Structure 1
Amino acid sequence: MRTHINAITLAVSDLDRSFRFYHEGLGLPSPGIIGTEYVGGDDTPGGSAAMFTLDNGLLLSLYGRTDLAKDADLPDGPVTGAAMSLGYFVDTREEVEEVLERARQAGGTVVRPPLERPWGIYAGYFADPDGHLWEAVFFLDGKRPS
């Protein structure tokens, strides 16, 4: 098995709202919502999704929660983001605060204001409109893990 992740797909309850949060609010580049011509049915998923290629090549994808459940052949359930968090590494302490404020202004929630942790980071958490948890992190020694 190769030791890298190529894409992370977040299940969202409202694709348009989530696209605006990530694209307009956080400034992630995207060609927009694609695949709208593939309309789902009772048992088949639709194809509408939004994709963001991040600087490190990782693809962040947004997909309707009902369509994701159908595609994976799982029961449809509520969107929840508390079972994991995504890390967003920045270059300064100030950027941690800027990311959290930008997320708040875009419709997200600051879950925990930034603070310095004894293990060498300055970090805070925000949640997107569906509750997906993100941690904005600055490494106090300036060295990101490789």
Structure 2
Amino acid sequence: MTISAITLGVRDLQHSLRFYRDGLGLPFPGIIGTEFTGDAENPGGSTAMLTLGNGLILSLYGRDDLAKDAGVAPDRVTGSGVSLGWFVESGGEVDDILQRAAAAGATMVRAPLQRPWGIYAGYFGDPDRHLWEVVHFLSGSAPG
């Protein structure tokens, strides 16, 4: 199995785009699909998509539209039941990303620290409480 896309349901698409693009420096090209407007029962098509280095797509999609599209209640696509891992090359990069995230409005969940299983990592929550772990593998390479 290959996961091709991760879609984050967000309260405010513009706000989340600014957080990820302007705050964290991720090269999101902007919002697409604005010509597909939703209504009370049908989702709109506005989304922001970023293709990551490994080909995985990170997508930001309005929470209400995501819920309508999936046919679930909006609270089902709120917050964080998982964490997303962002692997980086150094401990300094972990610190830098966490500092940028905090400056952009993220919630600092756990300050970075070295774990006995060989990582240096910390956590932040984005504006919609999606949980991110920023990880440096002390051995120099990620598993896999």
TM-score normalised over the length of structure 1: 0.95
Is 1:73 matched up with 2:71? yes
User: 1:41 deviation in Å?
Assistant: 0.7
User: 1:15 deviation in Å?
Assistant: 0.4
Alignment root-mean-square deviation, CA? 0.9
Is 1:21 matched up with 2:19? yes
Q: Superposed, which structure 2 residues align to 1:41-60 within 5 Å? A: 41-60=39-58
- Which runs of structure 1 show a deviation greater than 6 angstroms over 4 or more consecutive aligned residues? none
Alpha-carbon deviations, 1:110-142, whole Å to 9, x = none? 110000001110000011000000000000111
Q: Superposed, which structure 2 residues align to 1:1-146 within 5 Å? A: 3-77=1-75, 79-81=78-80, 83-146=81-144
Matched position secondary structure for 2:113: strand
User: 1:31 deviation in Å?
Assistant: 1.8
User: 1:55 deviation in Å?
Assistant: 1.1
Matched position secondary structure for 2:74: coil
User: 1:145 deviation in Å?
Assistant: 1.0
Matched position secondary structure for 1:22: helix
Following the alignment from structure 1 to structure 2, what is the Cα–Cα distance between the partners of residues 112 and 75?
30
Whether the aligned pair in 2 keeps the contact of 1:12 and 1:65 (CA below 8 Å) is yes
Aligned-pair identity (%)? 61
Following the alignment from structure 2 to structure 1, what is the Cα–Cα distance between the partners of residues 93 and 74?
37
